[in-house]
């Protein structure tokens, strides 16, 4: 007898949603890039210049984080407290997780370069958990950091190595949307001794219901196609919402006015050949018009999330150079915000 469990929605290579509401996220694209989507086990011994551990921060919801600390020149003992990066992965709110190789490779590199602690959140995914679920997970992770800083919760690495007075939000692609959403959400929150010092949105997934010129005309890239954007947003946004929703369009009419938000200094990274380039730049201009502290870095000649493509970084000198410049710009931004 033929199965009635047919595919209702498919994002080529990435995701299949079935009639019984089950979701298959096994990679079915080119096998030579599958390693980018493979989980990297945590390791509390130092490898690749970092140690990592996975921590369950809310037993009731299952919310977990991955913590990175950099190796010091003389081993495990770090002399000074380091800035703390709270990281949110991308994936259109529908795919990817904090332990994927693409994130491990880049964030181990960033942690080593900046000399920072990183806490990367395992966000719930749509369509099983539509927005604002991922944003709520980010907020819960921030509150957990506050509880650890106050001694109400315990985490030995953070207690030993993290400076809670220098917390930076960093997000890739739709993780960049979460950076804005969380910064706005905690702007008026009593969070001492945690101080939100800045936010970094890398190729954020800002969109409008009316497609931009770049979205319609630029060439697609391996990590972002128009089909991916449209289908992921259809699966992730609340039922009945369009891309003008405040999470995807924080500069739009449906979102709280930017001028009324208490936001930290922000660095927005834009790729010249990103389909989302125009709406990312629109966000930056709206932030400037609202009197917010925002700086923009452009990656010339690059596409969306290019810095995760280890094969391209190894094969193309310009891609490698742009990834190195990205690391240095984030490092510079963090250093300049420190008191």
Q: Which of 96, 274, 278, 305 is catalytic?
A: 274
Helices (H) and strands (E) in the chain, counts: 9, 11
Per-residue pLDDT tens over the stretch 261-297 = 999 999 999 999 999 999 999 999 999 999 999 999 9
Distance CA 159, CA 152 (A): 12
Q: Are 138 and 64 in contact (CB under 8 A)?
A: no
334 Cβ partners below 8 Å, 6+ apart?
A: 83, 85, 114, 116, 166, 168, 197, 198
Is 304 a residue of the active site?
yes
Q: Which of 64, 173, 191, 212 is catalytic?
A: 173
Is 274 a residue of the active site?
yes
How many residues are there in the chain?
Answer: 339
Q: Would you state the pLDDT for residue 5?
A: 86
Distance CA 271, CA 306 (A): 8
Q: Would you state the pLDDT for residue 339?
A: 57
Query: Which residue carries 């710009």 as its tokens?
Result: 329
Q: Would you state the pLDDT for residue 211?
A: 98
Q: Which of 89, 180, 245, 304 is catalytic?
A: 304
**pTM for the complete prediction?**
0.96
Nearest to 64 by CA among 14, 11, 22, 119: 119
Q: Would you state the pLDDT for residue 320?
A: 98
Positions in the chain whose pLDDT score sits under 70: 1-4, 73-79, 339
Exposed, middle or buried by CB within 10 Å (0-12, 13-18, 19+), for 129?
Answer: middle
């Amino acid at each position: 007898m033929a199965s009635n469990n047919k595919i209702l929605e498919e994002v080529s290579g990435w995701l299949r949603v079935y009639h019984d509401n089950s979701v298959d996220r096994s990679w079915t694209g080119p096998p030579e890039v599958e390693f980018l989507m493979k989980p990297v086990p945590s390791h509390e011994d130092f490898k690749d210049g970092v140690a990592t551990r996975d921590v369950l921060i809310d037993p009731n919801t299952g919310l977990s984080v991955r913590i990175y600390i950099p190796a010091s020149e003389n081993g495990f003992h770090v002399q000074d407290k380091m800035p703390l990066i709270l990281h949110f992965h991308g994936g259109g709110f529908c795919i990817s997780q904090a332990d994927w190789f693409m994130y491990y490779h880049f964030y181990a590199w960033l942690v080593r370069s900046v000399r920072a602690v990183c806490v990367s959140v395992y966000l719930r995914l749509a369509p099983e958990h539509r927005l604002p679920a991922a944003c709520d997970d980010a907020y819960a992770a921030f509150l957990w950091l506050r509880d650890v800083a106050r001694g109400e919760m315990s985490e030995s690495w953070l207690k030993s190595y993290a400076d809670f007075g220098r917390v930076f939000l960093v997000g890739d692609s739709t993780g960049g949307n979460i950076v804005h959403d969380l910064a706005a959400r905690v702007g008026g929150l009593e969070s001492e001794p945690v101080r939100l010092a800045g936010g970094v949105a890398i190729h954020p997934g800002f969109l409008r219901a009316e497609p931009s010129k770049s979205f319609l005309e630029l060439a697609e890239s391996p990590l972002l196609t128009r089909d991916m954007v449209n289908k992921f947003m259809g699966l992730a946004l609340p039922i009945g919402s369009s891309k003008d929703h405040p999470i995807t369009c924080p500069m739009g009419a449906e979102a709280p006015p930017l001028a009324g938000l208490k936001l930290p200094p922000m660095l927005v990274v834009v790729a010249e050949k990103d389909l989302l380039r125009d709406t990312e730049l629109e966000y930056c201009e709206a932030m400037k018009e609202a009197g917010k502290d925002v700086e923009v870095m452009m990656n010339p000649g690059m596409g969306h999330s290019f810095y995760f493509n280890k094969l391209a970084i190894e094969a193309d000198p310009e891609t490698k150079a742009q990834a190195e410049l990205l690391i240095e710009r984030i490092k510079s931004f963090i250093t300049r915000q420190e008191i």
